Structures are given as C-alpha cells and as structure tokens.
Amino acid sequence: MQFTSESVEALVEQFTKLPTIGRKTAQRLVNFVLKMPREEVEEIARALIAVKDQVQRCSTCFVVADRDPCPICSSEKRDRSTICVVEESSDLLAIERTGEYRGLYHVLGGVISPLDGVGPDDLRIRELARRVDPSFADSEAANVSAADAREAAESGEAGPPEVGDEPHAGDGAPAPDDADGADGAGEDEEAEVEEVILAVNPNVEGDTTAYYISQLLEPMGVPVTRIARGLPIGGDLEYADEATLSRALEGRGAV
C-alpha cells in the first residue's frame, strides 16, 4: 500500500535501495524520520552527502579514507616491509582493532568468485603485484603477448569461426575504479616488501583468491603467508566440523 504523501513514498522507495531493507522496514524508518527533530535529519542528510563528496580511496592501499594517501600509508610508524591483504575496508578495521598488526594493507575490493563471475581483473590484484614488485607491469605485458601468441597458435586447429569467439573477460579490462590508483601504486613504497599476509575469509572464494595470489607472487620471491584457520576462541572442539578441525590441526603451533 502506498502512502498518501508523495515525499514520504519517495523516501520509502529510497530506503528500499539499501541492502537488507525491505518495504516494511523502509516504512518504519520513514515513520521514525518523521518524528525526528529537523536538526538531526539535516545531520543525517549532510553526513550522506559528505560520504560521497569527501571520502576517497587511498591510491596505494585502496582503503576508504578522507585523504590520499591514507593515514596508515602515510604513517612513519608503520612497518613498510609487510602488506596485509584484505577483502574490504571493513576487514582492515577489524584487524586494526586487534592492535597486533603494525604493517601496511592492501584492499582487494572483493574476492575471486567464479560462480559469481568475479575474476582477478575485477579486483586490485595487479596493483598488489606492482606494490610487491614494481617491475611486475613489464613482465605482465610480456606474459600477455606470449599468451596471445600461444593461443593464436593453438586455435589454428579450430575449424569454424565461432569456435574462436569465446569471450575472455580478462583481456585488458582493468577494474573501472582502478585507473587513478594503478599508476601511482608502488611508487610510494620505500622499503622492500618482505612479507605478504593474506587475510581473506576461510571459504572457497577466499581459498581461490589466496592460492591465485600466492602463485602470482611466487616468482617475486616474497614470502606469502595466510592467517590461521581453525577453531574460534570459546568454541567447542566436539562440535567443530571435520574440515575446520583438519585446518586447525594443520595450523597448530608450539604452546
């Protein structure tokens, strides 16, 4: 059912664009907004606009920040020889909250998910490789040429023209919002990277991303580690599933 006020209806429509907000929740939110003092509503409106106007991505680590480079990348106190790779900015915040990590970060912007059609070219994986080894861009160009030549040679057997028409999503298509950061990434790195820590989620997509990055960085000679997987603190060993317990045993450490 629609509201009698067009502006109320319009706000309901706008709220339903937010994740996990259905029409009923949107209506409840609008009713709440109607009861709020005007100053508070203006504050919310200003905050929404400010997020779009002022927030940007750090051109080095791609975290959401108010300035570029972000406070972490520009901090002198950070260990610049370690890069912790996370999926999203929210994961960075979770690691920062621990207070245990003093290195730099790299935000991928997601994980490789073949079933959802998200591949390496949709993420900031090349930018990571360039941070670890600035000469990666040159070797990448050489690899692409070699691969193209090999494909051309192999496709010689294919008879009909439609055989060769299979799309390749990765062919030279950088992520749309990467353009600004890609050129500058790596230039500000002063210290040589000595370790890359992969802090991706322990699921199939996280595994795929971790193995892919590990293979990509292997020729660069930089140790690539992954945060431990296994039992959560306060969890019960008896109720852990086999795969989790297996990983916990695999990643056991000295007491």
Partner 1 sequence: MAQRDIIRTQAIVLRGMDYSETSRIVTLFTREQGKVSVMAKGARRTKSSYGSTLQPMAYTQVVYYYKPTRTLQMLSESSHVRAFHDLNRRLDKIKIGLRIVELVDALMEEEDPQPAVFAVTLKALDALDRADERIDNLWPFVQLRIARVLGVAPAIDRDNVEAVTDEGGILSLANGGVYPQSARPSHARRASRAALRAFAILARADLDVILRMDLDRQTRARVHQLVAEYMQFQFESAYPTRSRDVISQMKGGEGEW
The verdict on 230 binding partner 1 (CB under 8 A) reads no
The secondary structure of residue 113, as a DSSP letter, is B
Q: Which of 37, 54, 44, 39 is nearest to 11 (CA)?
A: 44
The verdict on 240 binding partner 1 (CB under 8 A) reads yes
**From 17, 35, 77, 168, residue interacting with partner 1 (rule: CB under 8 A):** 168
| CB 130, min distance to partner 1, A | 16
Asked if the bond preceding 202 is cis, omega within 30° of 0, the reply is no
Q: Which lies closer to partner 1 via its Cβ, residue 82 or residue 209?
A: 209
The verdict on 20 binding partner 1 (CB under 8 A) reads yes
| CB 172, min distance to partner 1, A | 11
The verdict on 117 binding partner 1 (CB under 8 A) reads yes
Q: Residue 250: enclosing H or E segment and its boundaries?
A: helix 242-250
The verdict on 203 binding partner 1 (CB under 8 A) reads yes
Contact (CB, 8 A) for 52 and 66: no
Q: Which lies closer to partner 1 via its Cβ, residue 10 or residue 173?
A: 173
- Give the chain's length: 255
Torsion (CA) 206, 169, 214, 218 in degrees, nearest 10: 180
Contact (CB, 8 A) for 197 and 214: no
The verdict on 110 binding partner 1 (CB under 8 A) reads no
Residues that bind partner 1 (CB under 8 A): 20, 112-121, 143, 147, 154, 157-160, 163, 166-170, 202-204, 207-208, 211-212, 215-216, 232, 234-235, 239-244, 246
